[in-house]
Chain A
Amino acid sequence: MQAILSWQLLFAALVTGSIYVLVALGLNLVYGTMRLLNVAHGDMVMIGAYVSYWLFTLSGLSPLLSMLIAAALTAALGALAYVGLFRRLLANRQLVQRLEGNSLLLFFGISIVIQNLASLAFDSTPRAYQYLDRVVAIGNLGITENRLAALIVTGILSLVIVLFLRFHIYGLAIKALMQHREAATVVGIDVERVQILSFCIGFGVAGLAGALLSMMEQITPFMGFPFTIAAFVVVILGGLGNLLGGMAAGLLLGILETYGVALTSPSLRSVLIYGVFILVLLVRPQGLLGGKRVVR
Chain B
Amino acid sequence: MGYKFSKEEMASIFSKLAVDYDVFAPVVKKGDGTFSDVDVVRYDKVSSLDEIEFEKKSDYSFKEALLPINETIFYFTEDETTVPKGPAKERLVFLRACDLNAVKRLDQIYLKNGFEDFYYKRTREMTKFVLMGCKESCTSGFCVSMGTNTTDEYDLYLKLDGDNAYVEAKDEKLAEAFKSGNEEAVSPDFVSENPTKVTLPKNITPETMKSELFKEYGNRCINCGRCNFVCPTCTCFTMQDIFYKDNEKNGERRRVWASCQVDGYTEIAGGHGFRSDNADRMRFKVMHKIHDFEKRFGYHMCVGCGRCDDVCPEYISYSNLVNCLGKECE
Note whether A and B form a binding pair. Answer: no
Binding site for B on A (CB under 8 A): none
